[in-house]
Amino acid sequence: MSLTPLTSTNAVTGFFVDGEPLSAGGAHDAEVRSVTANYFRTLSIDPLRGRTFSAQEMTDGSQVVVVNQTLASRHWPNEDPIGKRMRWGITTDDPLLTIVGVVADVKQRQLGAPLQPQMYVPYTQYPYRTMTLMVATTGNASTLAAPVRAKVREIAPGVPLYAVETMRSIYARSVWQQRLYGALFTSFAVIALMLAAAGVYSVIAYSVTQRLHEIGVRIALGVRQVDVFGLVVRGGARLALIGVAIGVVGALASTHVLRSLLYGVSPTDPFVFAGMAALLLVTALVASYVPARRAASLDPVNALKND
């Protein structure tokens, strides 16, 4: 293939749908890849419609093309694109290609980048200045470097082979920035959660200290320990609910800042918001436990005497 996915490199070409007037300013853009017949099988890209290239088409000069779902939906939204033709270029001398298949969209540059129209052509007819050899394996891919080098050297001694790496390493390099931000935000979130727990504990503990006389009177009048415990815990839960409500409003207001840092998760994902709210509430309840237990075990005689 001409370019490896997720390497931030790209090749864009102009094309016209057959029947459209040719003009340089009116051409549609599409990412283009020169591939072999086995490319789609190696990367597990199954055709959604039609088929991929045959071995014969790779050698007999057939003017065929495979497009992605985005391109097909954009130009033939209510039609079957198989058999439709598109001109690769802006002159009548440019080739007129017949669509033989539609495949799923592939993130060619970055995972967070919007999907673009894509077209795949046989590399034997449209070779790229540098080509990438991809090998599918079920084992440890890094152990295949030496055998692959030896096989390439055997078949084509004059072809240099460099930058051998696994797709796992390419993927890791492509998302390093998102992982860094994720690690930083996770660290900040853990610190914030610890501070929130300490804050809730301090406020509830101080509240219990201030209400020792009241709590002592309640216990002296026959209020059960479990009711005193619940009274203190409810106070902590009330504070937590107010804080969560304010936090949710602030988070919703700032989601546009985080949108570019997220992939596969909506900035307003209800499950994420619900999970974080539940975590904060549980943290507040846990932080309220020690002061509540202290209040529930309070000796009313000592409380009233100290007052």
**What confidence tens digit (pLDDT) does each residue in 64-78 have?**
999 999 999 999 988
Q: Which pairing describes strands 118-122 and 28-35: parallel, antiparallel, or unpaired?
A: parallel
Task: Say what the pLDDT of residue 262 is.
Answer: 66
Over 90: is that where the pLDDT of 103 sits? yes
Task: Say what the pLDDT of residue 49 is.
Answer: 92
Q: Taking residues 155-176, what's their average pLDDT?
A: 77
Over 70: is that where the pLDDT of 154 sits? yes
Q: Is 264 exposed, middle or buried (0-12, 13-18, 19+ CB in 10 A)?
A: exposed
pLDDT tens, position by position, 236-258 = 788 788 888 888 888 777 777 66
| DSSP assignment letter at 21 | P
Strand partners, 119: 32, 67
User: Please, are residues 75 and 7 in contact by the beta-carbon 8 Å criterion?
Assistant: no
Over 80: is that where the pLDDT of 8 sits? no
Task: Say what the pLDDT of residue 66 is.
Answer: 93
CA-based nearest residue to 234, from 285, 290, 175: 285
Quote the longest CA-to-CA distance of the chain.
103
Residue type, 137: T
The C-alpha atoms of residue 106 and residue 33 are separated, in whole angstroms, by 11
Q: Taking residues 181-196, what's their average pLDDT?
A: 84
In angstroms, how far is CA 303 from the centroid of its own chain? 56
The pair of structure tokens assigned to 110 is 């970055």
Over 90: is that where the pLDDT of 287 sits? no
Q: How many CB atoms lie within 10 A of CB 16?
A: 20
| DSSP assignment letter at 89 | S
pLDDT tens, position by position, 128-144 = 777 777 777 777 777 77
User: Please, are residues 90 and 24 in contact by the beta-carbon 8 Å criterion?
Assistant: yes
Task: Say what the pLDDT of residue 67 is.
Answer: 93
User: Please, are residues 108 and 5 in contact by the beta-carbon 8 Å criterion?
Assistant: yes
The contacts of residue 75 (CB under 8 Å, 6+ apart) are 17, 28, 81, 86
The residue that leads in pLDDT, 27 or 220, is 27
Task: Say what the pLDDT of residue 82 is.
Answer: 94
Q: Is 92 exposed, middle or buried (0-12, 13-18, 19+ CB in 10 A)?
A: exposed
The C-alpha atoms of residue 289 and residue 294 are separated, in whole angstroms, by 9
DSSP per position, 179-247 = HHHHHHHHHHHHHHHHHHHHHHHHHHHHHHHHTHHHHHHHHHTT--HHHHHHHHHHHHHHHHHHHHHHH
CA-based nearest residue to 204, from 284, 305, 117: 284
Mean pLDDT of all residues in the chain? 80
The C-alpha atoms of residue 36 and residue 41 are separated, in whole angstroms, by 10
Q: Taking residues 12-24, what's their average pLDDT?
A: 80
pLDDT tens, position by position, 80-99 = 999 999 988 777 778 889 99
Over 60: is that where the pLDDT of 307 sits? no
The C-alpha atoms of residue 69 and residue 96 are separated, in whole angstroms, by 20
